[in-house]
Amino acid sequence: MLTMPLQTNSSLNDTVIKLEHVGKTFGEMVVFEDICLHVNRGEIVSILGSSGSGKSTLFNIIAGLIPIDHGKVAVRGTVGYMQQKDLLLPWKTVASNVGLPLKLKGFAKEDIEKKIKEYLPLVGLEGNEDKYPFQLSGGMRQRASFLRTLMTAEEIFLLDEAFGSLDSITRGQMQKWLLDMKNKFDNTVVLITHDIDEAIYLSDRIYIISKIPAEIKKEIKVDFHNEDKNKRLLSPRTLELKQEILKYF
């Protein structure tokens, strides 16, 4: 795998993730041969595709968890990776779970406690620090998982079907909550989803990816109601864009 720091010239100053002609195989299975994409600082970008299209493999490559066969991968910034399952440790409290990345980094106990106290109210978990995962609702567990990811890295978030296991009402609430968190922390979010409505609602840009051997079928800029994405929920433009996207499936 060739992982390169991004150049610092003006044309790339806003680019935090860049994949150039990336290929990956597992044995005889070709996942993709020529993937090119980029993510700019502060964007929410969705990777939209059906199950089995190599989306999670793509995230594992961006996170540096697996090597590529050819091409170039450049990432500028710290990366936090949140998967569909919250993966909270059931024997640890909320505070212990979200503070675990800091403990592994060698932070002092008092510094960890200070940061947890500072951040819990921001994600709506103040007063729940001593509860265990089984005592939390699905949405609260995902918020705890989000905060643990934030403690891992504050700059780039990779969200792999992060709300896919939630019921539709809770999922909608979490989508709105994610936008609120994005405004508070001003970070970069890359979202894997197979939900077209979710991609349109949350994203600044959408990459549509085919089934394996996967390729980028279309890059779509979502350029309406950027100042208030909640207005997209009932916008006629959302239906028009959904009809356009469906042509690729």
pLDDT tens-digit readout, 40-85: 999 999 999 888 888 889 999 999 999 999 999 999 998 988 877 7
With beta carbons less than 8 A apart as the criterion, state whether 130 and 95 touch: yes
Residue 228 CA to residue 28 CA, distance in Å, equals 46
This prediction has a pTM of 0.86
- Residue 73: which of 14, 13, 24, 10 has the closest Cα? 24
Is the pLDDT score of 7 beyond 50? no
- For 125, the token pair is 């978990």
- For 221, the token pair is 């800029």
- For 164, the token pair is 């896919």
> 5-12 — which CB contacts under 8 Å span 24+ positions?
5/74, 5/76, 6/74, 6/75, 6/76
pLDDT tens-digit readout, 119-139: 898 888 889 999 999 999 888
Q: Is residue 153 exposed (0-12), middle (13-18) or buried (19+ Cβ within 10 Å)?
A: middle
pLDDT tens-digit readout, 155-189: 999 999 888 778 888 888 889 989 988 888 889 99
pLDDT tens-digit readout, 186-241: 899 999 998 999 999 999 999 999 998 999 999 999 999 999 999 999 999 999 99
CATH class of 3-77+155-246: alpha beta
What are the boundaries of each domain within the chain?
3-77+155-246, 85-153
